[in-house]
């Protein structure tokens, strides 16, 4: 609902493919990738994965080239949800044919996930990630 009410109808949202269906159908906005059979092709999905796993500035440039106006990532560190987008980084690496391993803290995905998180108090601690 927030997307429908706060973004122009012509907006394009970048998110990992498993969130695309809900964004497209509930938010009524175009997406770069979704899980439907007619969704993103492998090349576009690999390009999206490359953008999310690139250093912030390069990742933003790639998403602009893909015509994305917004980026939506899911972060589970506050609630202790282990299946957030950070946990999918190794799969993103495989799709983009990038070296796998721990996600670097300079990537667009990491920076979006932890944006202002250090100012939030969780269980009495600032910036406590309940998953990692």
Report percent pLDDT > 90 for the chain: 62
In this predicted model, what pLDDT tens digit does every residue of 59-78 receive, in sequence order?
999 999 999 999 999 998 88
What would the mean pLDDT of 46-54 be, rounded to a whole number?
95
- pTM, 2 dp: 0.88
The mean predicted confidence, pLDDT, of the chain is 89
- The pLDDT of 38-58, averaged and rounded, is 86
Residue 63 · residue 14 · CB < 8 Å:
yes
Quick one: the chain helix, strand, coil %, rounded to 5? Answer: 45, 10, 45
Strand order in the sheet with 70-71: 30-31, 12-14, 70-71
**pLDDT tier at 54 (50, 70, 90 boundaries)?**
very high
């Amino acid at each position: 609902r927030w997307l429908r009410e706060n973004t122009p109808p012509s907006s394009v949202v970048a998110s990992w493919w498993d969130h695309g269906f809900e964004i497209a159908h509930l938010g009524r906005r175009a997406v770069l990738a979704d899980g439907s059979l007619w969704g993103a092709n492998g090349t576009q999905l690999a390009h999206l994965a490359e953008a999310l796993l690139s250093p912030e500035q390069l990742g933003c440039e790639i998403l602009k080239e893909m015509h994305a106006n917004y980026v939506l990532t899911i972060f589970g560190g506050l609630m202790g949800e282990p299946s957030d987008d950070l946990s999918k980084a190794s799969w993103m690496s495989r799709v983009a044919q990038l070296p796998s391993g721990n996600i670097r803290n300079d990537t667009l995905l990491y920076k979006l996930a932890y944006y202002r998180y250090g100012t939030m108090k969780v269980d009495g601690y600032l910036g406590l990630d309940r998953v990692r």
